[in-house]
Amino acid sequence: MKFIGNILWWIFGGLEAAIGYFTGSLALVLTIIGIPVALQTFKIGLLCLWPFGAKVRNTKSPVGCIRIPLNILWIIFGGFWACLCHVLFGILLFITVIGIPFANQHFKMARLSLTPFGKEVELHL
């Protein structure tokens, strides 16, 4: 069932969204200072490729103090808008019964796109 959900996700816009996140990641990597942010956009892009069956969880890394300022900068410079887009699409999909599983995936992506530092995506293919 996860495989069918992911294929439908790809067909109806998930592949384009993932390509957009990966393109943004590539552009950020070209600037040396953007590499930490590029890793986060790549992480969101991976979740956009395979949202069904993927889990987002907090990391157990010891560098917790730098995570908070990076997440604040992320929210200021675009994370809020990415989260808002995913929430909007989730609400629109939640209106129909058949769209509820896809809405749940958008809400999962909204949580990750608001504060990606300190989280990891675990893909179950």
Residue 34 has φ and ψ, to the nearest 5°, of: -90, 5
The residue ranges of every structural domain in the chain are 2-122
Please report, in tens digits, the pLDDT of each residue of the chain (125 residues total).
889 999 999 998 889 999 999 999 999 999 988 898 999 999 999 999 999 999 999 887 766 678 888 899 999 998 999 999 999 999 999 999 999 999 999 999 999 999 999 899 998 87
pTM (2 d.p.) = 0.87
DSSP conformation class of 98: T
Pairwise CA distance, residues 85 & 8, whole Å:
20
The residues with which 119 forms a beta bridge, in sequence order, are: 58
Buried-state track 77-113, b at ≥16 Cβ within 10 A, e below 16: eebeebbeebbebbeebeeeeebeebbebbbbbbebb
Q: Residue 14: which of 57, 56, 45, 53 has the closest Cα?
A: 45
